[in-house]
Amino acid sequence: MRIAVVGSGYVGLVAGACFADLGHDVILVDNDKEKLAALKDGQVPIHEKFLPELLNRHRGQRLSFSDDLEQAVRACSAIFIAVGTPSTEQGEADLSYVESVARQITGGVEEYKVIVEKSTVPVYTSEWIRKIILRNGASPESFDVASNPEFLREGTAVTDFLFPDRIVVGCDNDRCAAVLREIYEPLTSGTYYKRADAIPQPDRASIPAPIIVTSTKSAELIKHASNAFLAMKISFINAVASMCESVGASVNQVCHGIGTDSRIGPRFLNPGIGYGGSCFPKDVMAFRAVARECGYDFRLLDEVMRINEDQRHRFLRKVRSALWTLRGKHLGVLGLAFKGGTDDIRESPAILIVQSLLQEGCKITAYDPAAMERTREVMNSGIKFVNSAYEAATAADALLILTEWEEFANLDLNRLNTELKYPIVIDGRNLYDPEVMAASGFTYYSVGRAASHPEGVPALKNGTHKA
């Protein structure tokens, strides 16, 4: 099938490359000519595993690039809208880009097309897209609007697309649903997975991929409800971690105890410094705004956001507790991206913590395997970027772990101890065992677990220790 994907951002670029890998002919459309030129030249603008391989495999063959939306619509049977939906000041999703695309699509609707929402949008967006296209002159029989929300995690977006937990397709008639079923047939039939050049299968993959066909409104709600629930799960375990610290329990043991319940499950029960990125903060606010428009006060979401913000403040209090005063302190920082496996720093709790520490008068030496260039674009004073975790630790008063990169969980502890001015590690991602850290000579703070100290280094009442 010939498919147009409008928008070459995170969702659009991954979707376009993956549709091409399924065997479709894809036109990736964007009005940013510089970005298109870079893509045509083989440059990959985001850090995402397997994406460079897919772009190199299909660029100039099954995957082409264009800035002519009308022409792309005429040439394709399905048009996926994957443009940005940033938050407004009121927390609602800004749908102006979606509306603009809907207006432009109309000029290319000459025979039957399926227009598919791929961007994360509130309920009723499909109805508005249909209204806009009709207002601009398309006949009612010439198109349908569907919702096909994405459930991609940054860092594993390609495998999430090709090995999905489920494919949700929101359609209001059988003709429209048949087009979406055909597009995803290589996944739902399992034929894609038999190919020798298929992307490697991740753990816990559902093969063949299950497809769920719903109404468009249900599909729109599924996306926002899914992200809000996952954000709630993160905030819940962070709140439990705070209780663990107060009573002297181990959040690891609590997570294991509740995560083995099949009704709850262990995933997303990872205490830390809170969620971030381009999805959860935006989508939780947008879902709350949708609820208010519908006349429902979704106060649970207010608490989810409050706990998430408080988690950063609690971590900063840990830093103060470990160091007493912050002005003039030299801190090593490991991690700037909002999570491991990506270079995305949008709403990154690591960045927000670093900014707060800089305001307190700290000097920061930071290392991240992928996100330093993006961080340089928004922060260039008071922070020094280095090329390894050990360089970040050199002569630092303490080392802060803010992103769960795999390499940060496998450091040479003896070398790390030697590099630090004081052997203090404040771990916002619980990458290490407190007993192991104490045995290695570190004063170690983490989330939801008691601080640990080397033998002979007594803790003070306020949580600090005698250096």
The reported pLDDT for the residue numbered 326 is 95
Give the whole-number percent of the chain exceeding pLDDT 70: 97
Query: What CATH architecture applies to the domain 312-445?
Result: 3-Layer(aba) Sandwich (3.40)
Query: What are the structural domain ranges in the chain?
Result: 2-214, 312-445
Cis amide bond preceding 208, omega within 30 = yes
Q: Is 100 left (phi over 0), alpha (psi -120 to 50) or beta?
A: alpha
End-to-end, the C-alpha distance of the chain in Å comes to 67
Task: Identify whether 279 is a catalytic site residue.
Answer: yes
**Residue 296 C-alpha from the chain's centroid:** 27
Tokens for 284, please give them: 């939780």
Q: Which fold has domain 2-214?
A: Rossmann fold (3.40.50)
pLDDT tens by residue, 128-167: 999 999 999 999 999 999 999 999 999 999 999 999 999 9
φ/ψ of residue 107, rounded to 5: -65, -20
- Alpha-helical regions (H) of 324-452: 349-359, 372-378, 389-393, 413-419, 434-439
Whole-angstrom CA distances from 325 to 23, 113, 116, 319, 402 are 59, 63, 54, 9, 20
Select the more confidently predicted residue: 467 or 62: 62
The C-alpha atoms of residue 460 and residue 321 are separated, in whole angstroms, by 10
Could you give the angle at the alpha carbon of 410 between the alpha carbons of 406 and 416, nearest 5°? 125
Pairing of strands 2-6, 78-81: parallel
Which listed residue (76, 279, 294, 362) is catalytic?
279
**Helix axes 125-135 and 216-247, enclosed angle (nearest 10):** 150
Per-residue pLDDT band for 92 (boundaries 50, 70, 90) equals confident
The C-alpha atoms of residue 372 and residue 345 are separated, in whole angstroms, by 9
Q: H or E segment at 4?
A: strand 2-6
Per-residue pLDDT band for 72 (boundaries 50, 70, 90) equals very high
pLDDT tens by residue, 189-236: 999 999 999 999 998 888 999 999 999 999 999 999 999 999 999 999
